[in-house]
Copies of this chain bind each other. A is one copy, B any other.
Amino acid sequence: MNADKIPDIIIGRLPVYLRALQRLADKGVLTTSSQELGEMIGISAAQIRKDISQFGEFGKQGTGYSIPFLVDRLRAILKVDRVWDVAIVGMGDMGHALARYNGFTNRGFHVLMVFDNDPAKVGIKVGEFEIFSTAVMAEKLKQQKIKMAVLTTPASAAQEMADQLVKAGVKAILNYAPISINVPDDVHVQYIDPVTHLQRMTYYL
């Protein structure tokens, strides 16, 4: 195990490996090879081997990798061998869709609370959740020690909500708002904007 400093680009591929491996596990497959995994996800076998070997010698020559074992290791490395509570901020269509999404379960996450700054929405039920006011957000996030949030507000509110999240101790933000946000260096942000993703492909059409 060479825990020195793993490049972020490798960390970014591990969830993709994990997703494919869990899919194989669900089908009852017990072992796989870097070759087979690579064909599933479109990454070269050598790269997969090199990425995984950063964390230890998890495979066996001639056989490949034990799927249950490798899944366990990857979950531990990514720290999703536990459940992280997540808050959703912004209860528009996207916030609703995510609040009702059942794909977080078993992959390390649990939506615990949802917020909106519109007084007309506060108190309304969305599935199992009652929408809370963003006025009480910092308090509730601190109380529950929530470290991760999903931002699904319009662009106009995103920076202000991000600031409040940071103040409340949130260290990871998944930003669905179509705008870049500024946060301190110790806060991580991932961006999901369907338009930028589409624009990245039109260049090649």
CB within 8 Å of B: which residues of A?
11-12, 14-16, 18-20, 23, 40-42, 77-80, 84, 86, 93-94, 96-98, 100-101, 103-104, 107-109, 147-148, 150, 155, 171-172, 174, 178-180, 182, 188, 190, 192-205
Per assembly, the copies of the chain total 2
In the complex with contacts A179-B19, A180-B42, A205-B147, A84-B194 CB distance below 8 A: no
**Which residues from B are CB-within-8-Å of A188?**
201, 204-205
**Which residues from B are CB-within-8-Å of A155?**
23
Are the CB atoms of A190 and B195 closer together than 8 Å?
no
Are the CB atoms of A197 and B201 closer together than 8 Å?
no
Shortest Cβ gap from A148 to chain B (Å): 6
Ordered by A's residue number, 24 sampled pairs between the chains whose C-beta atoms are within 8 Å are A14-B199, A16-B196, A18-B199, A19-B178, A19-B193, A20-B180, A40-B180, A78-B199, A79-B202, A79-B203, A79-B205, A84-B202, A86-B198, A94-B101, A98-B194, A103-B195, A104-B195, A108-B198, A148-B198, A172-B198, A172-B201, A172-B202, A190-B200, A190-B201
